Amino acid sequence: MAKSSKENSPITDHLAYLLAQANREINRQLELRLSKEGVPVEQWRILKVLSDGNGHSMGELADAVLLNHPTLTKMIDRMVSDTLVYRVQDPNDRRKVLMFISDRGKVLSKKLNSLAVDQEEHILESYGDKSTSELKRLLESLIDSSN
């Protein structure tokens, strides 16, 4: 009798593990670059999302930057102290808070973006154009299929 094929498979066969491993590595590299500006990856994400100039509610922002609400609240507190972003109460729904990027935030955001783009280019070089775009495509479709 043959066992179920996956029962004793090494952990490296699991998609969940490969994703965690790849994410950890790429994130570590990005972190290293952003540390030049002393900013964690999450703040890069926040500034990038807000840099469309529009107001974004906390809930919307939490989804976009992959943070839980309380974690986001506290990170935004720090960024407000650093005058990178500011809160405005939503006049249409006073439960909501709209977040905006400040001028200082925009300046920092540009620097961070160029560091992030550096990384993307570095990946393109070592990993290849074809693989990168194919991987992005597959990741997007995995995310889609998970909703």
Q: Which of 106, 87, 107, 85 is nearest to 97 (CA)?
A: 87
Residue 101 forms beta bridges with which residues? 85
- Using CB under 7 A, pick the residue from 6, 38, 81, 94 that binds DNA: 94
CB of 80 or CB of 123, closer to DNA: 80
- Using CB under 7 A, pick the residue from 71, 114, 133, 141 that binds DNA: 71
Helix/strand/coil for 78? helix
55 binds DNA (CB under 7 A): no
Identify the DSSP state of 53.
S
69 binds DNA (CB under 7 A): yes
Task: Report the partner that residue 81 touches, choosing among a copy of itself, DNA, none (CB closer than 5 to 8 A by kind).
Answer: none
Task: Report the partner that residue 100 touches, choosing among DNA, a copy of itself, none (CB closer than 5 to 8 A by kind).
Answer: none
Sign of CA dihedral 111, 36, 119, 126: positive
Residue 101's CB is within 10 A of a number of other CB atoms, namely: 24
Residues that bind a copy of itself (CB under 8 A): 4, 6-7, 11-27, 29-30, 41, 45, 48-49, 64, 66, 113-114, 116-117, 119-120, 123, 126-127, 131-132, 134-136, 138-143, 145-146
Shortest Cβ 108–DNA spacing (Å): 17
Q: Which of 37, 34, 43, 109 is nearest to 81 (CA)?
A: 43
